Amino acid sequence: MTDHTWLNRWDERYGTEEFAYGTAPNNYLREQLTRLTPGKILFPAEGEGRNAVFAATQGWQVSAFDISANGRNKALQLAEQQGMTIDYQVGELSALNYKEEQFDAIALVYAHFPAAIKSSIHQMLNQYLRKGGFIIFEAFSKNHLEYIARNEKVGGPKDLESLFSVEEIRADFPDYHSIELAETEIELKEGVFHNGTGSVIRFVGQKLT
């Protein structure tokens, strides 16, 4: 069942006219998509749609979901502005009707699910990716708390358990060839809520089985 505090938080963030994280795609996602042949891609926790709409402009067949209806509304608005079509559902992953091995890629871009379920969500997503498909992942690392302490404008969860480590990603996606898996410091300039220096985990993995 959806935590209403969690839902209300995201509905409030996405309920303004301004796009919380801007309308431009995440830099790492942009880089990685240019290296892949377009196919079917899924964006979990996609918010206002900046990454999903970008993928559509690159020829991908895009599916996305989030718990926030406000996020979906703005994503569809952005898609329409750019002449794109995306399939965007509202709800929790377990209630959506994705099929095994449906996708050629899954992009997890700052998809910080609640700590208690984040690993189980990753494992659930794995079944929807075909053998040979790709995970593209960027999210804040456990060391990011130090960066928030210096500059709250960089954004990100403020509880350690909602953040990620290399070891955690390796454990969540065990049957993958790691093309890249590293913690790195980056500069963020994404809308209102991601601005400044942060620490992230980046992962590109190809599913082996």
pLDDT of 1: 42
Burial code (b: 16+ CB inside 10 Å, e: under 16) for 89-124 equals: ebeebeeeebeeebbbbbbbbbbbbeeeebeebbee
| Model confidence, pTM | 0.95
Sign of CA dihedral 43, 48, 51, 52: positive
Q: Which residues contact 79 (CB under 8 A, 6 or more apart)?
A: 49, 52, 53, 56, 85, 86
CB 170 within 8 A of CB 182: no
SS3 at position 200:
strand
H or E segment to which residue 140 belongs: strand 129-140
CB 51 within 8 A of CB 21: no
pLDDT of 108: 98
User: In whole angstroms, what is the distance from residue 54 CA to residue 58 CA?
Assistant: 7
Tokens of 169: 């990603």
pLDDT of 124: 97
pLDDT of 9: 84
User: In whole angstroms, what is the distance from residue 15 CA to residue 54 CA?
Assistant: 21
Going from N- to C-terminal start, the domains of the chain cover 4-207
Sign of CA dihedral 22, 61, 129, 9: positive
DSSP β-ladder status, 61-66 and 87-90: parallel
User: In whole angstroms, what is the distance from residue 40 CA to residue 109 CA?
Assistant: 17
CATH code, 4-207: 3.40.50.150
In the chain (209 residues long), the average pLDDT of successive 10-residue segments reads 73 92 98 97 98 98 97 98 98 96 98 95 97 98 98 97 98 98 98 97 97
pLDDT of 4: 75
Residue whose C-alpha is closest to residue 72's, from 43, 36, 101, 114? 43
